[in-house]
Amino acid sequence: MRSTSYRGSCGSARVALKRFGEANIRPGAPLATLEDALVPLYMLHRYQVEATTKLIGGVDYAFALRGDGQVATRAVAPAEQRRALAAVLGTLSTNALALPEPLATQIPPRPPSFPRGREHFKIHTSPVFDALAPAEAAAQHTVALLLAPERAARLIEQHARTAASPGLENVLDSLLAATWKARRPAGVAGEVQRAVDQVVLADLLALSRNPAASSQTRAVVGLTLQTLKTWAAGAAARAADPAERAHLASAEQQIAELQKDPKLVIPTPLAPPDGPPIGEDDEDD
């Protein structure tokens, strides 16, 4: 079923996050269990993102029979695909991903009797809560769906057939414009954006070497990475912020290293916490 209703979910979650605090857990509970209540709220949009992403390179189809008059396949209209793309990319903004600052410092390490599990955020800062991990996990959820190799191949085919349909190049350019090339905020929001950028880069590097991807997909992604490498080198030379300069130089280096050694192990971004199963259809398209 088609849906872009995730906008409502994101908006509701942001409002709820601003009010989020000790009142969300029972009296006497460890403050660390705030994370237990935070995960489903922060990831509230995960299923709407999945539904909306299916429109990008999407195909309406029926299990038609000879003579029944049904249309077997029809690509999703170009305008609808572009609206879906804009909506999905909106989930990667710092406004959508950054935790309210008071909340980020309210969650202490988990007591030994409350161990971290599959339904919690994976973290880089053990034992303390990682305020950037939710953004990395949510971005990985979105970008992995968007850059599925099957979707990339459909985008190429649909654009070849109908020029108005967004091609893979259009999607990748829009993705980089919304992340790496977006205006860089200061402070913690800037670190959130850099975490998102690295998710995008890791998933592009992986797609460029994915044996399940079509040859043209790998070619388009390879050219995109080469262009990003050149852009990052220039941007690093102009960057005044040391953190941003390091971020850009790292991107240039990662791309160059993979170009030199295609078998290089690509770092995997933090995966989102396990969510409640809804239905049995987990296909990416």
17 against 126, higher pLDDT: 126
Collapsing DSSP to helix, strand or coil, 71 comes out as coil
- Could you tell me the pTM of the whole model? 0.90
pLDDT at 9: 55
Tell me the pLDDT band of 60, cut-offs 50, 70 and 90. very high
pLDDT at 285: 52
Tell me the pLDDT band of 103, cut-offs 50, 70 and 90. confident
Mean pLDDT (the chain) is 91
- Taking the domains of the chain in order of start, what are their residue ranges? 6-260
**HSE toward the beta carbon, residue 183, CA cutoff 13 A:** 2
pLDDT at 279: 44
pLDDT at 270: 95
Please say if the pLDDT value at position 107 is more than 70.
yes
- Location of structure tokens 């990667």: 92
Tell me the pLDDT band of 15, cut-offs 50, 70 and 90. confident
pLDDT at 1: 37
- Sign of the C-alpha dihedral computed for residues 17, 18, 19 and 20 taken in this order: positive
Over residues 194-222, the pLDDT tens digits come to: 999 999 999 999 999 999 999 999 999 99
